[in-house]
């Protein structure tokens, strides 16, 4: 059956409504701006919508709004109309059936049912929380007449008229007050009322085409339901009741009946909420991760390589995450600006000596600040043990006494130069993670080294070491022999860290706002869309996206305002990530925020939250703490790293980089602000600064 439910390869895509002839969305009646702090009814716990199809006697269940393997089960009930709702108040929507005035109400998938008589043949069944008590109950629409029960089994029945006999009813919580409201759709026009009583409509707009199946859900998880339509396997989700923009995904085929079921949790220890603050106004997407729970934060690189960019939503979807935010600033090649590591493996040394955050192997510790990123290679022979430093990892060639390293993740961007000395290494065992932040990987030399001639090819796995010919680094490589044992020892910046993601500046450090880094004359410090990560004293991780550059909805925040927000949420440490048009948050299979560009920008990295353990760290071994309290690993004197002179990307910039370079909240603003402080910029950041300066 799987082949009969095709999924779009690109997943959910944001579409400008005015560009599509299929879904005209002309607003006929304007609605008021969102009420400050009206994200949900007081004390309400918002659920998460999941896609469901009914085809014949079979239910098909999606785990989110886009992505993941569906499950299915069959029940032989031909001719019954499917309906979904939380009829027992446990926070989980379940799937029930209606036919000719008989309801079969189930409180669990495929479980026993309760039969209730309510209605007649030809009625349209509805389920909603009409009185806000947290339990969905039954309702009917009959030729413009509504019959609603506050108690499914009995209770009073409310009866009123709203709409015409030929209208199609849709219900949802349009105003976010915790009570289900009503609407009717006439051809393609929606008439919503912020109540479940008769009276005048609250707003009117066009969405969809005659013949579409209609439904409603809380796509951006702000506590307000908004419209959706289903057409021949295509789902269209309108972003709000006042906006014509919509998102789309594929699940099912023509003739299927679409439904939504709501579950109380996103993943173990993971929650998301939206705050509409009228002070700015600001719209803040706030995700909280209990680091003691089973879910795992993880760093993700665009396309698993240094060159190129992807949407945050694409990286989150491809990694099997339930939530994701954009990561580090990125250069014209798409590579992150700062240090990056994933699953205990260093991907690159930084292109700019800046800040970063680190995640440890247990998923319970988050560190922030200036990372201590370094690598050494130790080789053993019958007569000696030799250790040399590798200050460049996928960050340019060897210089003099310093060996450089290249791996496949950077092969499209970084390769050794010709006429150097080369030696290959291949892993012979699993990486060992030490409490001090070091990661040791046993390796062996793959073949005899050579000097001169064309550059060595970077292997699909393992490492190519590059040494400068006629210098100490080249002489070291020349001494190696095929099969010789080696160990690559890497410090990934922070104690115990196996994942590292860069950002700038640090907002809060050890409970203190870093005022000296939060203000300046450049627009980088002004109100911009922002993305930040924080950690609280009680072991929670905060992922925050603040929308901006949208007057009346959200104007963005200054760095000082962002630090104040993070502190108000309980953060004792917090860091600013790439912002401006790069700011994005993906939750439950859908991008929930509203990027300032009007569409999601491709970026070089992301921070995601997996619903369980990180499979990429399955082969890591974590060493126990040293009982003596002293370091268990050999300490090697660290020599000064060579200047960062990573060359310009030799080609056209990746799509979207010019926009990011002009953006005061993204890499252009960062480069300008760093230059104002006298920081030496790499050539590529100088390029970003020049693009930025030409747009001021």
Residue 667, burial from CB neighbour count under 10 angstroms (0-12, 13-18, 19+): buried
| In the block, residue with structure tokens 């665009």 | 302
What percentage of the chain reaches a pLDDT higher than 70? 90
- What are phi and psi for residue 107, nearest 5 degrees? -105, 5
Average confidence (pLDDT) over 134-138: 95
pLDDT tens, position by position, 503-519: 999 999 999 999 999 99
More confident residue, 637 or 396: 396
Q: What is the pLDDT of residue 29?
A: 28
CA distances from 444 to 136, 433, 464 (A): 64, 19, 12
Q: What is the pLDDT of residue 69?
A: 78
Residue 5 has pLDDT above 70, yes or no: no
- What are phi and psi for residue 339, nearest 5 degrees? -65, 150
Residue 642 has pLDDT above 50, yes or no: no
Q: Is 628 helix (H, G, I), strand (E, B) or coil?
A: coil
199-210 b/e (C-beta count within 10 Å ≥ 16 → b): eebbbbbbbbee
More confident residue, 640 or 616: 616
A 10 A CB-CB count for 354 gives 21
pLDDT tens, position by position, 332-368: 999 999 999 999 999 999 988 889 999 998 888 999 9
CB 122 within 8 A of CB 105: no
* Candidate from 106-115, 593-602, 604-613 with smallest mean pLDDT: 106-115
* Candidate from 116-120, 396-400, 402-406, 609-613 with smallest mean pLDDT: 396-400
Helical (H) or strand (E) element with 104 = strand 102-106
Q: What is the pLDDT of residue 40?
A: 42
Average confidence (pLDDT) over 392-401: 90
Residue 33 has pLDDT above 70, yes or no: no
**Mean pLDDT, rounded, of the chain:** 88
Confidence label for 111 from pLDDT (cuts 50, 70 and 90): confident
Angle at 272 between CA 271 and CA 277, to 5 degrees: 140
Q: Which residues contact 628 (CB under 8 A, 6 or more apart)?
A: none
More confident residue, 587 or 493: 587
Q: What is the pLDDT of residue 538?
A: 95
Average confidence (pLDDT) over 573-586: 98
pLDDT tens, position by position, 160-180: 999 999 999 999 999 999 999
Average confidence (pLDDT) over 385-399: 92
Average confidence (pLDDT) over 575-596: 96
Average confidence (pLDDT) over 246-268: 93
Instruction: Show the tokens assigned to 113.
Output: 């049912």
Residue 19 has pLDDT above 90, yes or no: no
Q: What is the pLDDT of residue 622?
A: 87
Range 140-149, long-range pairs (CB < 8 A, 24+ positions) = 141/169, 146/182, 146/196, 146/198, 147/118, 147/119, 148/196, 149/118
Q: What is the pLDDT of residue 399?
A: 84
Torsion sign across C-alpha atoms 190, 195, 198, 199? negative
Give the separation between CA 508 and CA 366, rounded to whole angstroms.
Answer: 13
Which region, left, alpha or beta, applies to residue 581 given φ > 0 means left and ψ of -120 to 50 means alpha?
alpha
Confidence label for 450 from pLDDT (cuts 50, 70 and 90): very high
pTM for this structure?
A: 0.89
Q: What is the pLDDT of residue 68?
A: 64
Q: What is the pLDDT of residue 647?
A: 47
Residue 10 has pLDDT above 90, yes or no: no
Which region, left, alpha or beta, applies to residue 555 given φ > 0 means left and ψ of -120 to 50 means alpha?
alpha
Give the separation between CA 254 and CA 267, rounded to whole angstroms.
Answer: 31
Q: What is the pLDDT of residue 626?
A: 62
Average confidence (pLDDT) over 392-403: 90
Residue 640 has pLDDT above 60, yes or no: no
Instruction: Show the tokens assigned to 657.
Output: 């980089």
What percentage of the chain reaches a pLDDT higher than 90? 77
Average confidence (pLDDT) over 240-249: 88
More confident residue, 363 or 288: 288
Helical (H) or strand (E) element with 567 = helix 559-568
Residue 346, burial from CB neighbour count under 10 angstroms (0-12, 13-18, 19+): buried
Domains of the chain: 2-263 (2.115.10), 270-343+502-612 (no CATH), 372-493 (no CATH), 657-693 (no CATH)
* Candidate from 380-389, 427-436, 490-499 with smallest mean pLDDT: 380-389
Average confidence (pLDDT) over 270-288: 95
Confidence label for 401 from pLDDT (cuts 50, 70 and 90): confident
Confidence label for 650 from pLDDT (cuts 50, 70 and 90): low
Residue 59 has pLDDT above 70, yes or no: yes
Q: What is the pLDDT of residue 11?
A: 38
């Amino acid at each position: 059956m799987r082949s009969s439910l095709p999924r779009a390869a690109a997943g959910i895509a944001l579409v400008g409504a005015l560009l599509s002839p299929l879904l005209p969305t002309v607003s006929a009646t304007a609605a008021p701006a969102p009420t400050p702090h009206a994200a949900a009814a007081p004390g309400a716990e918002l659920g998460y919508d999941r896609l469901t199809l009914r085809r014949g006697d079979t239910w098909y269940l999606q785990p989110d709004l886009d992505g993941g393997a569906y499950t299915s089960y069959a029940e032989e009930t031909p001719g019954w109309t499917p309906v979904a709702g939380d009829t027992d108040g446990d926070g989980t929507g379940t799937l029930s059936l209606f036919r000719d005035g008989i309801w079969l109400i189930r409180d669990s998938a495929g479980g026993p049912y309760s039969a209730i008589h309510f209605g007649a043949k030809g009625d349209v069944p509805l389920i909603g929380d009409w009185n806000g008590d947290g339990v969905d109950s039954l309702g009917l629409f009959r030729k413009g007449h509504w019959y609603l029960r506050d108690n499914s089994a009995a209770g009073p029945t409310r009866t009123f008229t709203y709409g015409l006999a030929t209208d199609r009813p849709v219900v949802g919580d349009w105003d976010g007050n915790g009570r289900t409201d009503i609407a009717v759709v006439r051809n393609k026009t929606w008439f919503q009322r912020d109540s479940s009583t008769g009276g005048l409509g609250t707003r009117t707009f066009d969405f969809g085409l005659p013949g579409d199946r209609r439904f409603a859900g809380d796509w951006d998880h702000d506590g307000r339901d908004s419209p959706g339509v289903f057409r021949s396997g295509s789902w269209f989700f309108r972003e709000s009741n006042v906006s014509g923009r919509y998102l789309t995904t594929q699940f099912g085929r023509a003739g299927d009946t679409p439904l939504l079921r709501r579950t109380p949790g996103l993943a173990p220890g993971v929650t998301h909420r939206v705050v509409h603050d009228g002070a700015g106004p600001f719209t803040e997407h706030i995700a909280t991760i209990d680091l003691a729970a089973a879910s795992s934060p993880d760093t993700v690189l665009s396309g698993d390589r240094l060159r190129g960019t992807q949407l945050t939503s694409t990286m989150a979807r491809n990694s099997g995450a339930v939530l994701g935010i954009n990561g580090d600033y990125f250069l014209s090649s798409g590579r992150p600006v700062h240090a990056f590591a994933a699953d205990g493996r260093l991907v690159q040394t930084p292109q700019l000596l800046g800040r970063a955050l680190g995640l440890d192997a247990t998923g319970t510790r988050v560190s922030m600040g200036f990372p201590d990123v370094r690598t050494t290679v130790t080789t053993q022979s019958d007569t000696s043990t030799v250790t040399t430093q590798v200050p460049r990892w996928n960050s340019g060639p060897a210089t003099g006494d310093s060996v450089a390293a290249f791996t496949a993740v950077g092969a499209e961007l970084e390769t050794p130069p010709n006429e150097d000395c080369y030696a290959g290494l291949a892993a012979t065992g699993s990486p060992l993670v030490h409490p001090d932040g070091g990661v040791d990987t046993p390796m062996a030399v793959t073949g005899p080294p050579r000097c001169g001639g064309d550059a060595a090819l970077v292997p699909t796995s393992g490492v190519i070491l590059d040494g400068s010919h006629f210098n100490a680094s080249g002489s070291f490589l020349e001494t190696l022999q095929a099969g010789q044992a080696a160990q690559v020892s890497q410090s990934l910046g922070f104690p115990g860290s196996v994942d590292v993601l860069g950002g700038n500046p640090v907002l809060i450090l050890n409970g203190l706002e870093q005022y000296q880094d939060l203000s300046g004359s450049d627009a980088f410090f002004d109100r911009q869309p922002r993305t930040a990560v924080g950690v609280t004293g009680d072991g929670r991780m905060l992922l925050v996206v603040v929308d901006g550059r949208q007057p009346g909805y959200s104007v963005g925040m200054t760095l000082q305002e962002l630090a104040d927000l993070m502190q108000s949420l309980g953060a004792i440490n917090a860091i600013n990530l790439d912002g401006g048009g790069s700011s994005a948050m993906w939750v439950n299979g859908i991008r929930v925020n509203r990027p300032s560009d009007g569409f999601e920008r491709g970026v070089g990295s992301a921070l995601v939250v997996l619903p369980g353990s990180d499979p990429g760290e399955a082969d890591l071994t974590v060493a126990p703490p040293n009982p003596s309290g002293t370091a268990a690993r050999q300490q090697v004197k660290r020599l000064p790293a060579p200047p960062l002179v990573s060359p310009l990307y030799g080609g056209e910039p990746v799509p979207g980089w010019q926009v990011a370079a002009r953006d005061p909240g993204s890499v252009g603003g960062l480069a300008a602000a760093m230059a104002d402080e006298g920081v030496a910029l790499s050539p590529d950041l100088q390029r970003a600064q020049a693009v930025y300066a030409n747009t001021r």
